[in-house]
């Protein structure tokens, strides 16, 4: 039995290449993944059902409203929300937070005497 203790590397070293200045270069996969993940967190997906409701109910999803919903998604995600009702001065929007998806939209006049179920949070934007 060999009782010697050997010293070696637990993890293999990454192979990197150097550019003309001698700065190590990686293949860019790590940066690309981080960049795409960052882009995806600032988006708003719109379901087919939501598009249909926006058109039927003449609710404009302009850049201001879209930015409001994206900001709401960021805050709701930080709090651990999953399905949220977002109330704005013009409309009510139901969002799925993990997928950053607008599920449906309603005019505020349609919200009178309505019950909204299967949500875990409400976000109110007063202006």
Torsion angles phi and psi, residue 115, rounded to 5: -115, 130
Determine, yes or no, domain membership for 18.
no
Based on the structure, what is the number of domains in the chain? 1
Determine, yes or no, domain membership for 33.
no
Q: Which domain holds residue 66?
A: 45-124
Measure the CA–CA gap between 127 and 124, rounded to whole angstroms. 9
Query: Which of 107, 96, 125 lies closest to 61 in space, CA to CA?
Result: 107
Query: Which of 98, 90, 34 lies closest to 66 in space, CA to CA?
Result: 90
pTM of the model: 0.68
Determine, yes or no, domain membership for 84.
yes
pLDDT in tens, the chain (127 residues): 556 665 655 555 555 555 565 655 566 667 666 666 665 567 899 999 999 999 999 999 999 999 999 999 999 999 999 999 999 998 999 999 999 999 999 999 888 888 999 999 999 988 7
Tokens at 25, concatenated:
């270069």
pLDDT score of 110: 87
Query: Which of 64, 118, 69 lies closest to 92 in space, CA to CA?
Result: 69
Determine, yes or no, domain membership for 9.
no
pLDDT score of 47: 96
């Amino acid at each position: 039995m060999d009782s010697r203790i050997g010293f070696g590397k637990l993890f293999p070293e990454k192979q990197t290449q150097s550019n003309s200045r001698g700065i190590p270069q990686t293949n860019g996969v790590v940066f690309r993944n981080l960049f795409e993940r960052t882009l995806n967190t600032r988006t708003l997906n719109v379901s087919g059902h939501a598009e249909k409701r926006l058109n039927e109910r003449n609710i404009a999803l302009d850049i201001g409203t879209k930015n409001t919903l994206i900001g709401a998604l960021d805050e709701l995600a930080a709090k651990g929300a999953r399905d949220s009702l977002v109330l704005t001065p013009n409309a009510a929007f139901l969002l799925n937070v993990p997928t950053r998806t607008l599920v449906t939209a309603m005019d505020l006049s349609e919200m009178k005497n309505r019950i909204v179920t299967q949500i875990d949070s409400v976000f109110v934007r007063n202006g």
